[in-house]
A and B are shown apart, each in its own frame.
Chain A
Amino acid sequence: MGPFILSNFGIAMLLRVPVGFALAAASLFTLALVTDVPLSIGAQRIVAGITPFPLLAIPLFILAGAVMNEGGMTKRLLDVADSAVGGMRAGLAQSMSITSLLFGGISGSAVASVSSLGRIVIPAMKERKYRPEYSAAVVAAAPVVDPIMPPSITMIVYGVVTGTSIGALFFAGIVPAVLYVVMLMITVHLTAKRFGFTKEAMQEATDLNKLGTIPKEDRPKFLISLYRAIPTLLLPIIILGGIRFGIFTPTEAAAIAVMYALVIGFFVYKELTWKKLVYALADSVLIIGLIMLVLAAAQIYSWALTSGLVPQAAAEAIFSITENPLVLLLLINGVLLIAGMFIEANAALIIIAPILFPVATSMGIDPVHLGIVIVANLSVGLLTPPVGVGLMLAAELAKVSMLQAVKAVGPFLLMGLIYLLLITFIPQISLWLPNLLS
């Protein structure tokens, strides 16, 4: 029955049916054909599936991110990063990396940060004679860190689907997120000299090793920009601190993030207007619709899976291949990378997690570690063709074709794979911080 659902799903996907509808169609069709369960339970499953309180964090974090962007917080984060790392080789690319990490600390979504950061960074990079395809690659590669850095929508979905503690996942993500950015900065440093700049920029340059450094007089003063960004930088600390000390749950933290963003936007930075707020609301609603369709469909899908005993069958199949957790983790990496090439992260997570989670935990893999591996995998999937949403958006912003962008993103993809191997085989990277804190 499992293959039957998946093949139906595949056919529907090829017909360009939206992922959520494809999932629901395949599940309902299979249930109606193979079993005689009353389908009206499906409707009840949807309601029961989207009422859990932790899920409420998703719309709230989305809204918080949108409000913060409209409220001028993004620009201030970029200023801090510019002043801190702008003096390095390919300074703008480096500051894009740092900003993504900071931005990830307030927004849970990578694509949001591609579009809001890319819109500012790509024109600036063009002015400083970066190759447009290289800018696209950097702007797509940096936000991969956002779903790994808490708060993260993908982690919330994983937590709800598998019953893992969302707070623990959040803390487990911090060290891997920093690791990713460090690796990214090294990659930028190594590649910028060869691939980063246009020919004329290379000829003009007196010292190739200092290519793309931002001159000191162009950089914002570090202390001033830091001071201006303090209200923004405080937010991740409030969110994580509040969760850590049990003052509020992740969902309540999300609501506080919205309120905080409104206060900062209206009264501290004074850049938020009613018009912008309405836009932020409307846009958030659309994004919520996208995620919730998949989540709602996932309820029918997981119901179909369990009533067809698919997880058990999958578990047996996997156990017949291997009983070694490391091999299993490699296998999971492979499956997720391939899935991530075609489907958006949250959808892939929902399709795969219910099948893999029971097997993995029964082999003794830590659920939190597994969560980080899955989230990191799917985030790197934002860069992989044919359907790397992050790369597509960045290519569009930089006005290069997807093919050019795919070529330029090569070194970053290679780095992403090395990163995934590190995360997979050294669980301490994810588990050290949560264990220290608990």
Chain B
Amino acid sequence: MLLLGVVVVSVSWQVVSRYITASSASWTVELASYSFVWLSMIAIALGVRRGRHMVLDIWEYIPYKRWLMRILETATAIIVVAVLAALIWYGFEALPPSFRRNSPGLGVPFGWVALAVPVGSVFALIFAIEAWWRLFHAPQGVDPLTAPVLYQPDDVIIIKGEV
């Protein structure tokens, strides 16, 4: 997960170096964009793991029933897993043609960028199942998905869909 911080820094650094050197080298732009694709896919997976993605939480307005929540969580997990499985499948299917194309600036095969989608989805798939497992077995009223990413002050209140 430390890698994530590194990616963020590298993205910022790339853009800044582009500004400082004032050269319009297209490879920095490309590198920044491509690392952003990777960053996004991994961040998405991480959001799945911590159950932080935005949901429409109208169920909070009805009384809590454990069996109902379990059914809901399972249905949700099935849909999420199905989407991710589709993305993995089609993501890999899209790979061979994109490896034949080279990016104009860096000259790397475009496939290395496209690879982010299936790889990120694989992570997200594993995390989705993990999150479902933990939700299913959590005691009532305890949110099992709040393990800090790296470090987190005590007074942070986590709300789903914070943007």
Interfacial residues, chain A to chain B (CB-CB below 8 A): 12-22, 24-25, 28, 39-44, 46-47, 50-53, 55-56, 59-60, 63, 109, 111-112, 115, 119, 153, 248, 251-252, 254-256, 258-259, 275, 278-279, 281-296, 342-347, 386-387, 389, 392-393, 396-397
Cross-chain contact A17 with B80 (CB below 8 angstroms)? yes
A288 to B91, CA, bound (A): 21
Cross-chain contact A344 with B79 (CB below 8 angstroms)? no
**A171 CB to nearest chain B CB (Å):** 21
With both beta carbons as reference points, the residue of chain B lying nearest to A277 in the complex is identified as B5
**B38 CB to nearest chain A CB (Å):** 10
Cross-chain contact A24 with B83 (CB below 8 angstroms)? yes
Among A42, A47, A153, A296: residue with most chain B CB under 10 A = A47
Cross-chain contact A290 with B53 (CB below 8 angstroms)? yes
- CB-defined contacts of A44 to chain B, threshold 8 Å: 94, 98, 114
Whether a CB of chain A sits under 8 angstroms from the CB of B150 is yes
Cross-chain contact A289 with B117 (CB below 8 angstroms)? no
Q: How large is the interface on B (under 10, 10 to 19, 20 to 34, 35 or more residues)?
A: 35 or more
**A112 CB to nearest chain B CB (Å):** 8
Contact of A255 among B16, B46, B58, B155 (CB under 8 A): B16
- CB-defined contacts of B152 to chain A, threshold 8 Å: 279, 282-283
Cross-chain contact B162 with A40 (CB below 8 angstroms)? no
- CB-defined contacts of B58 to chain A, threshold 8 Å: 14, 386-387
- CB-defined contacts of A259 to chain B, threshold 8 Å: 12, 16
**B162 CB to nearest chain A CB (Å):** 5
Cross-chain contact A17 with B40 (CB below 8 angstroms)? no
- CB-defined contacts of A342 to chain B, threshold 8 Å: 56
Interface flags, B130-163, vs A, CB<8A=1, else 0: 0000000000000000001111110101010111
- CB-defined contacts of A392 to chain B, threshold 8 Å: 159
With both beta carbons as reference points, the residue of chain A lying nearest to B84 in the complex is identified as A21
Number of A-B contacts (CB under 8 A): 223
Cross-chain contact B55 with A18 (CB below 8 angstroms)? yes
Cross-chain contact B159 with A346 (CB below 8 angstroms)? no
- CB-defined contacts of A248 to chain B, threshold 8 Å: 19
- CB-defined contacts of A397 to chain B, threshold 8 Å: 157
**B133 CB to nearest chain A CB (Å):** 17
A130 to B10, CA, bound (A): 46
A38 to B121, CA, bound (A): 19
A59 to B106, CA, bound (A): 22
Contact of B19 among A60, A255, A289, A389 (CB under 8 A): A255
A256 to B152, CA, bound (A): 26
A21 to B15, CA, bound (A): 31
Cross-chain contact B5 with A281 (CB below 8 angstroms)? yes
A177 to B86, CA, bound (A): 43
- CB-defined contacts of B11 to chain A, threshold 8 Å: 56, 59-60
Cross-chain contact A40 with B163 (CB below 8 angstroms)? no
- A389 and B56 contact, Cβ closer than 8 Å, known pairs A278-B150, A285-B4: no
Q: What are 29 A-to-B residue pairs whose CB atoms are below 8 Å?
A: A15-B79, A16-B76, A18-B76, A20-B54, A21-B83, A28-B83, A41-B94, A43-B91, A51-B36, A53-B29, A56-B36, A60-B11, A60-B12, A109-B163, A248-B19, A256-B16, A258-B12, A282-B5, A282-B152, A286-B46, A287-B163, A289-B42, A289-B44, A290-B163, A292-B43, A294-B54, A342-B56, A387-B58, A393-B159
- CB-defined contacts of B80 to chain A, threshold 8 Å: 17-18, 21
A258 to B47, CA, bound (A): 23
- CB-defined contacts of B40 to chain A, threshold 8 Å: 50, 288-289, 292, 295-296
**Using a CB-CB cutoff of 8 Å, which residues 75-97 of chain B contact chain A?**
75-76, 79-80, 82-83, 86-87, 90-91, 93-94
Cross-chain contact B8 with A17 (CB below 8 angstroms)? no
- CB-defined contacts of A40 to chain B, threshold 8 Å: 90-91, 93-94
Cross-chain contact A16 with B83 (CB below 8 angstroms)? no
With both beta carbons as reference points, the residue of chain B lying nearest to A119 in the complex is identified as B155
Interface flags, B27-68, vs A, CB<8A=1, else 0: 001001110110111111111101011111111010000000
- CB-defined contacts of B86 to chain A, threshold 8 Å: 28, 39
Cross-chain contact B19 with A256 (CB below 8 angstroms)? yes
**B125 CB to nearest chain A CB (Å):** 11
- CB-defined contacts of A293 to chain B, threshold 8 Å: 44, 47, 53
Cross-chain contact A19 with B56 (CB below 8 angstroms)? yes
With both beta carbons as reference points, the residue of chain B lying nearest to A259 in the complex is identified as B16
A50 to B58, CA, bound (A): 30
Cross-chain contact B159 with A389 (CB below 8 angstroms)? yes
With both beta carbons as reference points, the residue of chain B lying nearest to A57 in the complex is identified as B15
